[in-house]
Amino acid sequence: MQKILLLLILSFFSVQSFAGSCPDGSEPVRSISDDGTYFVFNCGGSAATSSNTFEMQNTDKYCPSVILPNDVAYGDKYNVCLLDKTAFKEYGLQVVDKKDGHPVRAGSKSMRFELRDGDCNDPPPPAWNDCKNDRERFELSGKEMFNGEEGWYAWSIFIPKDYIDTETGANDLGQFNLEPGQDPDPCCVFMISKKKSGYKLELYIWKSNKWTFKSIALNLSDEEMSGNWSDFIINFKWSKKDDGFIKLWLNNELVYEHSGQTFSKDTEFTYFKFGIYRSALSRYLNHKNFSPEVEACFEKNGASAEVINLTKKGEDSQVLGWGANAISLKIFNQCKHLYKIKVPTQIVYYDEVRVGKSKEEVVGSLPLRINNSKETEPEVNSSTTKTNVVATKEEEKRIPADLELPIFDDVEYKLEGQILKVNIFDPKMKPLTRHMGSLWTKCGSGLIDQLGWLSFVSIDSNSKNQQCHYDYYKSSNDNEAFELFKAVLSGTDSVLDYLQK
């Protein structure tokens, strides 16, 4: 009887269906875990082989846990906190696979968030109500962090090229939320906002015994954001004293730094949230549906000439207001029966969401992007393509004659002169990459470039660094990694012989 009740609770939590969420256009299959305690969502088969698999635990509670694979997130556990459980949409979050054509920052999987028109949290009062406050969201919430805690967070965001901004409102893609989040504290320490003009950092700074709002444009254009991964790293100490600090890097460039108090005396804790969160939607809808008929409706319902003019131009102005009492929302509610255009569906990918006590722990072996790089996400096929580099006659003389590639049938590699370069994020290279944090501490990153190519072969230029790597793997008590490293080196027996001797 208890098992039946549990299944009924689980079914009640997630009754929404969604078409076309899987890569092949089919609906994902929802199944119950073996112990009956959580859902498993997957496309095209069992959870073991699915390209869209994650777990949800304690689904009868307010904030059910989402258990994500280590390929996409580690160092923290996350929850979906929606007081209105009907607001949970299965398409809101999917764990997707590179082989199905999805962009992936590293490894083989990433997280795909999707937000559609009407995806708002609508619980009864006195709970916070997104629908009545002109907002929509699907976010994951991390652990609570208290006064005195310090550490590192890292995450990567991919904006598809067909992403549509709700420019007159806010598109927030990651925030550190403050609790209690009411006067005198604001909602959050800072938020990453997506604008056509580039990412924007919107934050509150505690100074002179009060919170001061700041908005900082980050050095990345819409062209550089769209179709590319952007890497964010934050180092922080949350403190009610002057020893607090926040440092933010975007694509390996320090873009913001603050020293001083980061909590007010009333702040209880903060926590990281990521996904898609958009607000002031009435501004966008009023502008997009503006017409003589709509303008007449505005005038009839008391909108001033200034409000009408700002709406017509689609300008972002505080005159239009924000939240439940905004004039833009009031005239929207009076005139929305005339509207045809809805809020666009937005899709954003996240990957490599990492939490740790050091930069090395959250960066690991991930090669960071560089700002102003025009590199775009490559086409992803079901199998990795080898990169062949044609050597000049002079280079051919320097390529060792014994160069063989015994393990590289499906691994991306290339030859540049006498240098053999291997893509360390290929699944076959995983035994090597799981040591990268410790390896960098011991040997540095001299063998790995910014794009993730691990270089071998050139005895003259990097034999000392290769020797350090060889000695590390030999003493690592990880025979699988050591044998793989030797197999890579056997691409030229002369180098392997040199290091062994």
Q: Are residues 324 and 218 in the same domain?
A: no
Is residue 369, in this structure, part of any structural domain at all? no
In this structure, what CATH number is given to the domain that contains residue 160? 2.60.120.200
Distances (CA, A) of 229 to 192, 207, 222, 390, 401: 15, 34, 12, 29, 39
Model confidence pLDDT, tens digit, residues 20-65: 344 444 455 555 444 443 344 454 433 333 345 677 777 777 788 8
- The pLDDT score that the predictor gives to residue 498 is 53
Neighbours of 315 (CB within 10 A): 14
- The pLDDT score that the predictor gives to residue 257 is 93
pTM for this model (two decimals):
0.67
For 479-483, what is the mean pLDDT?
Answer: 80
Q: Per residue, what are the HEC states of 451-491? A: CCEEEECCHHHHHHHHHHHHHHHHCCCCHHHHHHHHHHHCC
Q: Are residues 330 and 266 in the same domain?
A: no
Total H helices, total E strands in the chain: 13, 22
**In this predicted structure, which of 268-272, 346-350, 448-452 has the lowest mean pLDDT?**
448-452
Q: Are residues 428 and 308 in the same domain?
A: no
- The pLDDT score that the predictor gives to residue 464 is 63
Q: Are residues 76 and 184 in the same domain?
A: yes
- The pLDDT score that the predictor gives to residue 22 is 47
Is residue 368, in this structure, part of any structural domain at all? no
**In this predicted structure, which of 3-7, 70-74, 359-363, 494-498 has the lowest mean pLDDT?**
3-7
Is residue 401, in this structure, part of any structural domain at all? yes
Q: Are residues 332 and 222 in the same domain?
A: no
Is residue 375, in this structure, part of any structural domain at all? no
Q: Are residues 71 and 207 in the same domain?
A: yes
- The pLDDT score that the predictor gives to residue 29 is 52
Model confidence pLDDT, tens digit, residues 126-173: 888 999 999 999 999 999 999 999 999 999 999 999 999 888 888 999
Q: Are residues 317 and 409 in the same domain?
A: no
- The pLDDT score that the predictor gives to residue 4 is 32
Q: Are residues 159 and 66 in the same domain?
A: yes
Q: Are residues 148 and 205 in the same domain?
A: yes
**In this predicted structure, which of 84-88, 321-325, 447-451 has the lowest mean pLDDT?**
447-451
The DSSP H or E segment spanning 351 is strand 346-356
The count of structural domains within the chain is: 3
Last residue of a domain, one of 272, 304, 338: 338
- The pLDDT score that the predictor gives to residue 102 is 92
* Token reading at 196: 């056509």
Is residue 78, in this structure, part of any structural domain at all? yes
Is residue 374, in this structure, part of any structural domain at all? no
Is residue 362, in this structure, part of any structural domain at all? no
- The pLDDT score that the predictor gives to residue 221 is 81
Tell me: pLDDT of 426 over 80. no
Tell me: pLDDT of 371 over 80. no
Confidence of residue 261 (pLDDT cuts 50, 70, 90): very high
Greater confidence, 186 or 7?
Answer: 186
Is residue 377, in this structure, part of any structural domain at all? no
Tell me: pLDDT of 400 over 70. no
Q: Are residues 273 and 317 in the same domain?
A: no
Confidence of residue 224 (pLDDT cuts 50, 70, 90): confident
Sequence letter at residue 37: T
Distance between CA atoms of residues 123 and 133, nearest Å: 12
Tell me: pLDDT of 8 over 90. no
DSSP letters of 82-96? Answer: -SSGGG--GGGEEEE
Whole domain around residue 140: which residue ranges?
Answer: 2-282+344-352
Greater confidence, 382 or 104?
Answer: 104
- The pLDDT score that the predictor gives to residue 451 is 53
- The pLDDT score that the predictor gives to residue 183 is 65
* Token reading at 10: 């689980």
Burial class (CB in 10 A: 0-12, 13-18, 19+), 53: buried
Q: Are residues 334 and 212 in the same domain?
A: no
Q: Are residues 31 and 149 in the same domain?
A: yes
For 481-486, what is the mean pLDDT?
Answer: 78
